[in-house]
Structure 1
Amino acid sequence: MAISMLLPRQLGARAPLGAGARGLQTLARAACRSAATAPRPTPCAAALLGRRWASAAAGTAPEAADVERLSRLRNIGISAHIDSGKTTVTERILYYTGRIKEIHEVRGKDNVGATMDWMDLEREKGITIQSAATYAQWNNTNLNIIDTPGHVDFTIEVERALRVLDGAVMVLCSVSGVQSQTITVDRQMRRYNVPRISFINKMDRAGANPARIIDQIRTKLKIPAAALHVPIGAEDAFEGVVDVLANQAVYNRGARGEDVVYEDVPAHLVEKVRAAREELVSVLAEVDDEIGELFIEDTTPTTEQLRAAVRRATIARRFTPVLMGSAIKDKGIQSLLNAVISYLPTPTEVRNTMLDLNNGEAVLDVVPYSNQPFVGLAFKLEEGKYGQLTYIRVYQGSLEKGQFAHHVRSGKKVKISRLVRMHSNSMEDVDSVGAGEICALFGVDCASGDTFTDGRTNCSMSTMFVPEPVISLSLTPKDKNSTNFSKALSRFQREDPTFRVHVDAESKQTIISGMGELHLDIYVERMRREYHVDCVTGKPQVAFRETATSKAAFSYTHKKQSGGAGQFGRVIGYIEPLTAEEMCEQPHEFVNNVVGGTIPTQFIAGCEKGFNDGLHEGFMVGHPVVGVRMVLQDGAAHSVDSSELAFRLATFNAFREAMRASKPRILEPLMTVEVSAPVEFQGNVLSSINKRKGLIIDTVTQEDYCVVVAEVPLNNMFGYSTELRSGTQGKGEFSMEYKRHAPVLPDVQEELIAAHQKKLAEKK
């Protein structure tokens, strides 16, 4: 037995952590029996195992009923590139699990719309804007499901959903395959260590090619993958799938595919199914020790051994099983549900950690049982008709109606007056929820990412990653006296961490910033509909940045004498650009190399504040400065006139002077743009990208469609959707995702500086 099989997240699948004292003894005996054949655990692995044992056995062994409940619980998300069919898949899941009585489509003709797209804007535009939570039951297993948006502008919704989920279903189109947002979702899943099942949807589409999609998962996403299904037919002849492990054909009969029929494998697919099983064994042998040993011994693994290996490798995130179907044609969804239960982890099989605030933020393991002290994370806020609705994942302990919770960030106690489970925008009141559950509550003032406890522990869960906005708009209400304007902006900021608002110090305009044009357009439209505030928007502004490109020294003395105590501070040092690797860690850095007390210690903080002041606004176009390290080497102080303010002003002016001498450059957001259009319009697509100074990265032709991937400056992408539609007769579509900031061309830099100087002159 390999060390990896002794780790707690794998052991949870075999019952040890949740079986009380007897389970712990069984686990210890099993570990002893394996000692002769397994390598000795590393100190880290042994310490981790010991901590989990100690936590589970410290006088609070989990109750048998709680262990049973957790074994029948899955927290999953449905994620994918836009228009891959996530919401359609979720709608079928709700129908087959009995949560809804009728199926409605995303762009249905009945004007009802999909259950999870409950906002009017979502139903009008045919896209998911906000992640929506629901719960269902399948084969005696409870499912908490979050349907997430696919558009990159709403990526924070995917981010916070994956932060609190134990597993995910990654939906891929059978024709388009791995697209730009698929890669983003994959990166988010890796960031939060989320195992995934891959579901190739739209098998009824012309050009469906599942083999190519599996190859893309392996090459583009860099994760081993193998099919558990072989399709029976394809495109308009798609009838069902063959379960490779069960060696049975699976068909969906009935008006809406509710009747699942199992039959023998069609004769013409027998050889193909055998080859698919061999490929599955071959891939699993590379990622699972047990199958690897059987493969080396030339022993054919049994079906149960393969199922167990798929589960182990999936939970360990070393493998993704691939299933197939067509949600719109009601095929393959029941098999997907069975795979979710069989291969995705329970809350006890996922390692979550928290920080002990009483012990220098030492990392502690969460013990996911209801009889432990309560720890929960607020991951999403929503303004409802009864007030702020706060979505919470209960990681440890339980939450009951009427109890008091401790808000870790503010230190305040809050009473849980109402506790609900969410089903899209409807809710069901409950009295309590246990560990591993997702619920919502009212009347709690908090921010997204805040931790709640019962007061017995002073711990905090780690927060989620929040990307920086890349585009801004000026916003002016038509009715200047409306109080709803500020209310709406305040609410949207609380709900969405990527939506930022500030007032420009010079123009006094309200500036909103977000992840893209659609992101900001949606909030402007919501302001009009929900708060009855009509607004006028200004020209979109790109989030430019300024940076240094060479080392520059500074020696600056700040002196001011106007009667009484004066100001004196001298700073000496240099600035230099950070490398790309260093910028990944931090956008800027202040280094204090002063020795001998030439600058008294109490004034160093003022120097750092002066450096930070200089970063806020560059001198070329007035945008923030990034990628710079300031090294303070020497200076001078006056016994009477020196102060923290004097050194703050000295450092600020020294930084500005050094920036001017460092050959500064303006950086602009560079976007990865993926355009899909019929082959006959490929020339139009390429020319339109070249006209916008884009760099073509890849061009792929798929049947009668072409996909062009390019890197284009965001400043050149405004109005592209209209140009693409007119150049492809309305058949082209594109997605855009922020990649990095890159230097602008010299002529563009001169134009930007001239425009900024003109703007400053007009204000004088």
Structure 2
Amino acid sequence: MGEEKDFHGVVDLVAMKAITFRDEGRTPTVGDVPTDMAGEADAAREALIELVAEADDSLMEQFFEAGTLTQAQLEAGLKTATADRHVFPLVCTSATANVGIQPLLDTILTYVQSPAGRVLPIVTSDGETSSYDPEEAGTAALVWKTVADPFAGRITLFRVACGSLKSDSTIHNVSVDVSERVGTVALMQGKKQESVAEIKGGDLGTVAKLKDTRTGNTLAARGTPWQFAPFEFTEPVLSKKIPQSAIPGIRKTSQLLLSGQGQLHIEVTVAKLKRRFGVTADLKLPRIPYRETIKVATEAHGRHKKQTGGHGQFGDCKIKVAPLSRGADFQFIDEIFGGAIPRGFIPAVEKGIQEARTRGYLAGYPMVDFSVTLYDGSFHSVDSNEMSFKMAGRLAFRDAMSRAKPTLLEPVMNVEVYAPSDFAGDLMGDLNGRRGRIVGMETRGASTSIKARVPMSEMLTYEQQLTSSTGGRGSYHMEFSHYDEVPAHIQDKVIAAAKAEAGQGDEEDGN
């Protein structure tokens, strides 16, 4: 009833009553459905009745016979359909305006199944999805969150599905097959913890300082042949790089990424790092995980020969390189016959090529999607050794790359943008400007969903742009799709930037 600043109430389609919130205390007032909304409410209620009937065969028969359901049948059917996850009740609320909160709580109490009676999905030891009998399962708990406390250390938050988890006991972590000593268990009351003797089935509790237990793990009796089904975490849509100076001990060649569901999510996490652990992080845009590959097949020769007095070094190999399909990574093929290279030195050639390809050729990114065939070579009975053939493999790789037309690959993301339809044209234009390719569009009520494939490098600042252009009313989801070749004019800039960064790193190392 109303929208935006004029939002002042809701129509309950089950009770067919209007619930309004007009006084300062926002106390709900229950009354009749406004006349101007009666037609819309009747139609919506009929759709709800039909939806509930479809979830139960007996109710469907009643629906066909009578053309509708009684009030008692609707309420009972809605509760059953919700418990079976066929129907998800939707309640309109505004936390900031304190509107609709009481109906929300009433809906949870009326239609959502009690935690004590809910059976969580499990995965058996042979990988099959199944269910368990709460009466026979004993004690079993699911770890749903893990937090770090600067004073208490790791705090594990769990839900007891059946049985009870007691203080000063031992429980087995089925997920990682280790036993954990349980100290004092507690109930969470806001930020405070209330120590108790046990946490019973259906309740949420906490315990500190479990060594090997992580989010998603199952705690149960030793010998339990199943664990709760693992969580499916939402893919992050935004990542930022934490500077190495903020986290001591991080390798200079590594980058530590902080990923989340948006700019606000990441800012809150950074604030927590500062408040709890005294870590100040000035976030930067992350490096793009480019890859390198080749476009044509060629042959190459690598010879390593060195004489420094006494035993020298000698390794000689000939290879063929060829492109592979996207996503094939790397293949090494041994076609040595007649002992041109002793069998013991062939793995050394592969190792040299492997090390060289991980360092790349154009810009220092790993080289993928190609094969190397070792087909000939020579050796010295005294001077040849594994190191010599490893060096020969590296030289052969670099010789091949000089003629195989190496190129850069970039990650391309599947992107789905969801925003009011008024912004659809501008959003599609913006995605096209980011080298995106629109693959679909769907209207959902007053909103539009736009699906596109966009290079990751073009999406690093998209969250801020989307928020600005839609007034905060747009959202998006992003996940990896595939690698594709970088356009030539952009490739030159990426290579130049990579070489400049490598040069800066050498200067910092004193080289």
Query: How high is the TM-score relative to the length of structure 2?
Result: 0.70
Relative distance call for 1:687 and 1:595 in structure 2 (3 A) is closer
Trace 1:443-482 onto structure 2 (pairs within 5 A). 443-446=209-212, 447-457=214-224, 459-465=226-232, 467=235, 471-473=239-241, 475-477=243-245
Report the 3-state secondary structure (helix = DSSP H, G, I; strand = E; otherwise coil) of the residue aligned with 2:143. Answer: strand
CA gap of 1:605–1:437, structure 2 versus 1, over 3 A, is farther
In structure 2, the residue matched to 1:622 is 364
Instruction: Indicate how the Cα distance of structure 1 residues 706 and 565 shifts in structure 2: closer, same or farther if over 3 A, else same.
Output: closer
Matches within 5 A, 1:26-175: none
Task: Report if the CA contact (8 A) 1:475-1:512 is conserved.
Answer: yes
Q: Which one of the candidate residues 119, 128, 139 is aligned to 1:363?
A: 128
Distance 1:444 1:651, change over 3 A: farther
Kept in 2, the 8 Å contact 1:248–1:264? The answer is yes
Number of the residue aligned with 2:409: 666
Deviates more, 1:305-314 or 1:658-667: 658-667
- What's the secondary structure of 2:222's corresponding residue? coil
CA distance in 2, matches of 1:463, 1:604: 43
Task: State the one-letter code of the partner of 1:382.
Answer: V
Residue aligning to 1:205: 3
Aligned partner (choices 265, 275, 278) of residue 46 of structure 2? 278
Larger radius of gyration: 2
Corresponding position: 1:576 with 2:337 = no
Q: 1:442: Cα distance to partner?
A: 0.4
Find the counterpart in structure 2 of residue 242 from structure 1: 11
> Do the aligned partners of 1:552 and 1:658 also contact (CA within 8 Å) in 2?
no
For 1:422 and 1:637, the matched residues in 2 are separated by 71
From the superposition, tell whether residues 245 and 408 of structure 1 become closer, same or farther in structure 2 (CA, over 3 Å).
closer
SS at match of 1:457: coil
CA distance in 2, matches of 1:603, 1:675: 57
Deviation at 1:275, TM superposition (A): 2.3
* Offset at residue 279 of structure 1 (A): 2.2
Amino acid at match of 1:622: G
Determine if contact 2:298/2:400 at 8 Å carries over to the other structure. no
What's the RMSD between the two structures over aligned residues?
5.5
Whether the 8 Å contact between 1:676 and 1:707 is mirrored in structure 2 is: yes
1:320 partnered with 2:88:
yes
Q: C-alpha separation between the residues in 1 aligned to 2:305 and 2:227? A: 47
CA–CA separation in structure 2 for the residues paired with 1:370 and 1:644: 64
Q: Is the 8 A contact 1:477 1:534 kept in 2?
A: no
**1:353 matched to which residue of 2?**
122
Post-superposition Cα deviations, 1:45-88, rounded to whole Å, max 9, x if no partner, equal: xxxxxxxxxxxxxxxxxxxxxxxxxxxxxxxxxxxxxxxxxxxx
Q: 2:137 maps to which residue?
A: 372
Question: Which residue of structure 2 aligns with residue 511 of structure 1?
Answer: 255
Cα deviation for residue 440 of structure 1 reads 1.6
In structure 1, what is the Cα distance between the partners aligned to 2:236 and 2:348? 27
What is the CA-CA distance between 1:750 and the residue it aligns to?
1.8
Instruction: Tell me what 1:532 maps to.
Output: 278
- The verdict on how the C-alpha distance between 1:459 and 1:689 changes in structure 2, with shifts beyond 3 A counting, is closer
Amino acid at match of 1:277: R
Partners of 2:171 and 2:396 lie apart in 1 by 48
Instruction: Decide which structure has greater helix share.
Output: 1
In the alignment, structure 1 residue 392 sits paired with structure 2 residue 158:
yes
For 2:277, the aligned partner's letter is Y
Q: Give, in angstroms, the shift of residue 512 of structure 1.
A: 2.1
Over 3 Å counting, the alpha-carbon distance change for 1:532 and 1:306 in structure 2 is: closer
> Does the residue aligned with 2:243 lie in a helix, a strand or coil?
strand
Pick one of 493, 496, 501 that aligns with 1:754.
496
Aligned twin of 1:289: 57
- CA 1:611 to 1:365, structure 2 compared with 1: closer, same or farther past 3 Å? farther
Residue 363 of structure 1 aligns to which amino acid in structure 2? E
Preserved contact between residue 241 and residue 332 of structure 1 (Cα < 8 Å): yes
Are the aligned partners of 2:412 and 2:453 in contact in 1 as well (CA < 8 Å)? no
1:230: which partner in 2? none
Q: Structure 1 pair 722/402, CA: closer, same or farther in 2 (3 Å)? A: closer
Structure 1, 617-626 or 750-759: larger mean CA deviation: 617-626
The 1:322/1:376 distance shift into structure 2, 3 A limit, reads: closer
For residues 681-733 of structure 1, the C-alpha deviation after alignment (integer angstroms, 9 at most, x for no partner) is 99998887776556677699999x999987765544666788889x87x9567
1:425 aligned onto 2:214: no
Matched, 1:406 2:149: no
Residue ranges of structure 1 left out of the alignment (5+ in a row):
1-202, 207-234, 479-484, 490-501, 579-586
Decide whether the 8 Å contact of 1:355 with 1:459 is kept in 2. yes
Q: CA deviation at 1:616?
A: 4.9
For 1:439 and 1:335, how far apart are their aligned partners in 2? 27
Q: Which amino acid aligns with 1:576?
A: L
Q: Where does residue 738 of structure 1 map in the other structure?
A: 478
DSSP-derived class of the 1:756 partner: helix
Contact 2:186-2:195 within 8 A present in 1 as well: yes
Aligned position for 1:94? none
User: Is 1:354–1:461's contact at 8 Å kept on the other side of the alignment?
Assistant: yes
Q: CA deviation at 1:396?
A: 4.8
Aligned residue for 2:25? 256
**Distance in 1 between the 2:437 and 2:377 partners?**
50
Identity of paired residues, percent? Answer: 22
Distance in 2 between residues matched to 1:316 and 1:465, nearest whole Å: 19
Q: Look up the equivalent residue of 2:14 and give its one-letter code.
A: L
* 2:350 and 2:393 in contact (8 A); partners too: no
Instruction: Show the counterpart of 1:541.
Output: 286
* CA–CA separation in structure 2 for the residues paired with 1:527 and 1:678: 38
SS at match of 1:619: coil
Kindly state the Cα deviation for residue 416 of structure 1 after the two structures are TM-superposed.
Answer: 1.0
Mapped to 2, the partners of 1:546 and 1:527 lie a distance apart of 32
> Residue 266 and residue 652 in structure 1: after superposition, are their counterparts in 2 closer, same or farther (change >3 A)?
farther
Separation in 1 of the partners of 2:373 and 2:227? 35
| Greater displacement, 564-573 / 249-258 | 564-573
Aligned residue type for 2:251: V
Q: SS at 2:223's partner residue?
A: coil
Q: In the TM superposition, what whole-angstrom CA distance separates every residue of 1:552-597 from its partner, at most 9, and x where no partner exists?
A: 588888988985998899887855224xxxxxxxx65667998999
Aligned positions, number:
489
Summarize deviations over 1:501-530 as a string: whole Å, max 9, x none. Answer: x5233xxxx632132684665555444443
Q: Over residues 420-443 of structure 1, what are the superposed CA-to-partner deviations in whole Å (9 max), with x where a residue is unaligned?
A: 222342222222123443322101
1:607/1:367 CA distance change after superposition, 3 Å: farther
1:656–1:533 distance in 2 versus 1, CA, 3 Å: farther
CA shift in 2, pair 1:618/1:269, >3 Å: same
Mark the CA change 1:426 to 1:678 in structure 2 (over 3 Å): closer, same or farther.
Answer: farther
Q: CA deviation at 1:659?
A: 11
Deviation at 1:756, TM superposition (A): 1.9
Deviations 1:639-673 (A, max 9, x none): x9898997999599769958983764321454748
Task: Give the match's secondary structure for 2:69.
Answer: coil
* In structure 2, C-alpha distance between the alignment counterparts of 1:309 and 1:637, rounded to whole Å: 80
Contact 1:575-1:629 at 8 Å conserved across structures: yes
Compared with structure 1, are the counterparts of its residues 633 and 287 closer, same or farther at alpha carbon in structure 2 (3 Å cutoff)? farther
SS at match of 2:363: coil
Secondary structure, in 3 states, of the residue corresponding to 1:320?
coil
- Residue of structure 1 in register with 2:101 after alignment: 333
- Change over 3 Å in CA distance of 1:352–1:533 after alignment to 2: closer
Partner SS, residue 90 of structure 2 = strand
What is the match of residue 147 of structure 2? 382
Tell me, yes or no, if the aligned pair for 1:281 and 1:291 is still in contact at 8 Å.
no
How far, CA to CA, are the matches of 1:712 and 1:513 in structure 2?
Answer: 21
- 1:201-254 Cα shifts (integer Å, max 9, x gaps): xx6434xxxxxxxxxxxxxxxxxxxxxxxxxxxx62x55333333333444587
CA distance in 1, matches of 2:220, 2:318: 49
Listed one character per residue, the Cα deviations across residues 527-554 of structure 1 (whole Å, up to 9, x for unaligned) are 44433344566x5233232254868588
Q: In 2, Cα distance between the equivalents of 1:475 and 1:694?
A: 29
Quote the Cα distance in structure 2 between the aligned partners of 1:682 and 1:297.
45
Give 1:405 shift. Answer: 2.1
The alpha carbon displacement at 1:751 in A equals: 1.3
Q: Which amino acid aligns with 2:157?
A: Y
Q: Distance in 1 between matches of 2:103 and 2:372?
A: 60
